[in-house]
Amino acid sequence: MPKMTLSHFEATVLFSLFTSVVLGVVTKRTDRDRLHYGIYTFGCFLVALFGLGWLMYLGHG
Amino acid sequence: MAMEKEQKQPMPPVSQWAPALALSWLVPGGGHMLLKRTGRGLLLMAAITSMFVCGLMMRGAMFQPQSGDFLTTLINTGGFIGDLSSGVLYLLSVCLGYNQPDMAGAVHDYGTKFLVTAGLLNILAMVDTFDIATRRKD
């Protein structure tokens, strides 16, 4: 089994991608809504990722 | 009013949903495919399997149920249930010896979380399969 070494950022983006796909598929009732919700969830993950990243950076001083 | 009507629906027979639910646990996305939702099943299979394999490649650890103080029991038993929920992915990786001992390190920790989350996402897929099999959802 090859070893995968990811940074925190890369791991979080991958995590967001897979989770968004599943949430999009299982949550909504039409394909159009599923696609929109998947993209929306992924966007929310990214906003939280960058937002919390900057917050920690600025809070750290 | 609509919710009251929904709650009063009788429970469908077990034979209507159990095979799809069991397959959904065993093979992520398999329940959807059995119910002729192939596209959704393939997407679920790809996402959940990829997450699990990434976790293995990051050398994530598998949880084992442990007793002790409340937090230890909660984390280890919950983690074990999460791992087990991946179905055949978990069973194969344990049988083939891919389960790693818990090691210190950020990447291993990400891997452990990926493994548990893959199982938790599969639980969501199982709930969706149940809804489709019982015709509560298309």
pLDDT tens-digit series, residues B48-78: 999 999 999 999 999 998 888 999 999 999 9
Answer whether A27's CB lies under 8 Å from A9's CB: no
Measured CA to CA in angstroms, residue A14 lies from A11, B10, B50, B115 at distances of 5, 41, 10, 13
B60 CB within 8 Å of a chain A CB: no
| pLDDT tens column, B125-137 | 999 999 999 998 8
The residues near B86 (Cβ < 8 Å, ≥ 6 apart) are B28, B48, B52, B115, B118, B119, B122
Cβ neighbours of B118 in A, within 8 Å? 18
- Residue B7 confidence class, pLDDT cut points 50, 70, 90: low
CB-nearest partner of A3 from B57, B113, B124? B57
Look up the ipTM and state it: 0.92
Distance from C-alpha of B136 to C-alpha of B122, rounded to nearest angstrom:
19
Q: How many CB atoms lie within 10 A of CB B61?
A: 19
Confidence of residue B42 (pLDDT cuts 50, 70, 90): very high
Q: Cβ A26–B127 below 8 Å, yes or no?
A: yes
pTM of the prediction?
Answer: 0.90
